[in-house]
Structure 1
Amino acid sequence: MALFLVGTLILGGCTASRDTANSASPDVAQASTADSAFRNLPRLEGEAIVELVVKGSPIRILVNGVDAPITAGNFVDLVNRGVYNGLSFHRVVRDPQPFVVQGGDPQSQDPNVPINQLGTGSFIDPATGQPRYIPLEIQPTEAEQPIYSQTFETAGISTAPKLRHTRGAVAMARSNVPDSASSQFYIALADLNFLDGSYAVFGYVTEGMNVVDQIQPGDRIDTARVISGLNNLKSES
């Protein structure tokens, strides 16, 4: 069951041809490497609250930039740009047991794109005309910095991450390439501990989980906006 569900999630992420950025251990050296390799990506230095409205009902997400600064910064930046407005949830898995609702494919902005063709789209940065990808970023419980571009398994880490896949966790979907997440995200419908250390959680639903439980394939995000914490979003050059 776990392998099937993980495979479903991987296939739902964006497709990309990306090389692993580095394979360093989670220490100061890796933090320095990550800072230089990803310095052009937005970061969230603190927390933010994002509100998604789906079928007229709000879903509030506490976005954690303390433990996932790049992943959280990417999400808040896309929300602030209006990228998620009108996008649909193209994958909803509840059977044989609750799993995830997944959305954020920019291709879903076009209602003529069939839902079964969604799941491969990425955010195209208007400044470069190219897809913007972010590194896999997961912070171990006892570490001072996240590790980048590798899962806990490949990094040889046996501890749990700080941000875990509990019910209501919000995380980035990706392909089997670690640094392939872009705009697609998912919300956990149950505790999914077997995903810990493999996918980057960056926040949690704090209000409106009852709305998430009712989402069906094809339902759209009416609006997405940053309620608070936008001042914590930083862009580096």
Structure 2
Amino acid sequence: MRSLLLSGIFAALAAPAWAMGLSITVDGEAQGTILIDLFEDVAPQHVERITALANEGAYDGVVFHRVIDGFMAQTGDVEFGRLGGDMRRAGTGASDLPNLPAEFSDRTFDRGIVGMARAADPDSANSQFFIMFAPGPFLDGQYTIVGEVTEGMDVVDAIKRGTGGNGAVTGQPDVMETVAVVE
């Protein structure tokens, strides 16, 4: 009995401290829910930022402003990326919080991987993130990987593609209606 009890305790200690994810409800050309498993062990500061912003409701109503067919869909501009805002500025904003230092890992940018968008400085990620349509190993070690889509890649695949410069979405973009943290 004692060894059974001890093995149960050791099993509990070996399990991850918590498993977090995001549930993103998308509306527009794409409609449905995307579930993302967040990698707290790979990028703890970035996961903390994303979950804090999601819990505040900062991502609700934010559009997919840059979508490149065969590459990725980018969203998360909580400053200028709100539906109904001036979409010419979408993709240039961030949260009120300071930028984050890079948390590079040995994971690879495969289909469904979620990475943090940034400017030229590797330590400039803030609130924006992108979801890969296809593998992009040229991003490995250059951008922080924060999670992976576990359900809803059909929704990701249906996101309206950009036709403007650098993948900018013209007309009515798809939007993250709600973003919730799930455990």
* TM-score normalised per structure 2: 0.79
Give, in angstroms, the shift of residue 178 of structure 1: 1.4
User: d(CA) in 2 for partners of 1:52 and 1:73?
Assistant: 17
C-alpha offsets along residues 51-92 of structure 1, whole Å, 9 cap, x if unaligned? 000024110000010121111111111111111000001000
Letter matched to residue 87 of structure 1 = V
- Number of equivalences: 152
Aligned pair partner of 2:39 in 64, 81, 90 = 64
Q: Which runs of 5+ in 1 are unaligned?
A: 1-44, 125-130, 140-160, 229-237
User: d(CA) in 2 for partners of 1:200 and 1:174?
Assistant: 9
The residue that corresponds to 1:19 in the other structure is none
User: Superposed, which structure 2 residues align to 1:117-156 within 5 Å?
Assistant: 117-124=89-96, 131-139=97-105
Give, in angstroms, the shift of residue 99 of structure 1: 0.4
Letter matched to residue 156 of structure 2 = V
User: Superposed, which structure 2 residues align to 1:7-86 within 5 Å?
Assistant: 46-55=18-27, 56-86=31-61
The residue that corresponds to 2:148 in the other structure is 204
Residue 60 of structure 2 contacts residue 178 of structure 2 at CA under 8 Å; is this kept in 1? yes
Residue 87 of structure 1 contacts residue 108 of structure 1 at CA under 8 Å; is this kept in 2? yes
The residue that corresponds to 1:38 in the other structure is none
User: Taking every aligned residue pair, what percent have the same amino acid on both sides?
Assistant: 37
User: d(CA) in 1 for partners of 2:19 and 2:98?
Assistant: 22
The residue that corresponds to 1:28 in the other structure is none
Q: Secondary structure of the residue that 2:62 maps to in structure 1?
A: coil
Residue 42 of structure 2 contacts residue 145 of structure 2 at CA under 8 Å; is this kept in 1? no
Residue 47 of structure 1 contacts residue 66 of structure 1 at CA under 8 Å; is this kept in 2? no
Q: CA RMSD of the aligned region, Å?
A: 1.3
Q: Which of 1 and 2 has greater Rg?
A: 2
User: d(CA) in 1 for partners of 2:103 and 2:132?
Assistant: 18
Give, in angstroms, the shift of residue 46 of structure 1: 4.1
Give 4+ residue runs of structure 1 displaced > 6 Å after superposition: none
Answer yes or no: is 1:166 the counterpart of 2:110.
Answer: yes
C-alpha offsets along residues 179-228 of structure 1, whole Å, 9 cap, x if unaligned? 11111100011011110000001100000000001111311101000121
Q: Secondary structure of the residue that 2:149 maps to in structure 1?
A: strand
Q: Which runs of 5+ in 2 are unaligned?
A: 1-16, 161-168
C-alpha offsets along residues 150-205 of structure 1, whole Å, 9 cap, x if unaligned? xxxxxxxxxxx1x2201000010000011111111000110111100000011000
Residue 169 of structure 1 contacts residue 188 of structure 1 at CA under 8 Å; is this kept in 2? yes
The residue that corresponds to 2:12 in the other structure is none
Give, in angstroms, the shift of residue 47 of structure 1: 2.7
